[in-house]
Amino acid sequence: MNLGNRVLGYATCKLLVSQAIPNMRLIEINSLHTNEHHRRKGWATKLLNKICDEADDVGVGLLLMPDTEELKTWYTKHGFLTLQEKPVILMARPPKGKFE
């Protein structure tokens, strides 16, 4: 799975090897963003779905820290589970498919 900056249409993010939970293969999704003018047109959803599919293919979990309740709700719709609420919201998505 390719790490670093990712771009799909008008959505961007950065993928990093997570150090948040030791001894677990996790990729952190950092700064998933779409320019305000292009929001609510599906770009972030397409990029997130692509990243989730790639993570599933290699059997790696995803981790992220949304900074609003609205984003937390959005990520929940994409299979992310809340691990903690404070001091920051921490969410993870286990790999799906052949590793279940």
Q: pLDDT per residue over 32-48, tens digit each?
A: 999 888 888 889 999 99
Rounded Cα distance, 10 and 53, in Å? 19
Residue 91, beta-bridge partner list: 64, 82
Q: Please give the Cα distance from 29 to 68 (Å, whole number).
A: 15
The whole-chain average pLDDT of the chain stands at: 89
Query: What integer pLDDT is reported at residue 98 of this predicted model?
Result: 54
Residue 99 has pLDDT above 60, yes or no: no
Residue 61, beta-bridge partner list? 26
Q: What is the dihedral of CA 20, 75, 99, 13, to 10 degrees?
A: -60
Q: What is the pLDDT of residue 12?
A: 94
Domains and CATH numbers, the chain: 4-93 (3.40.630.30)
**pLDDT-based confidence at residue 20 (cuts at 50, 70, 90):** confident
pLDDT in tens, 57-98: 999 999 999 999 999 999 999 999 999 999 989 999 998 875
Calpha distance 45→31 (Å, rounded):
14
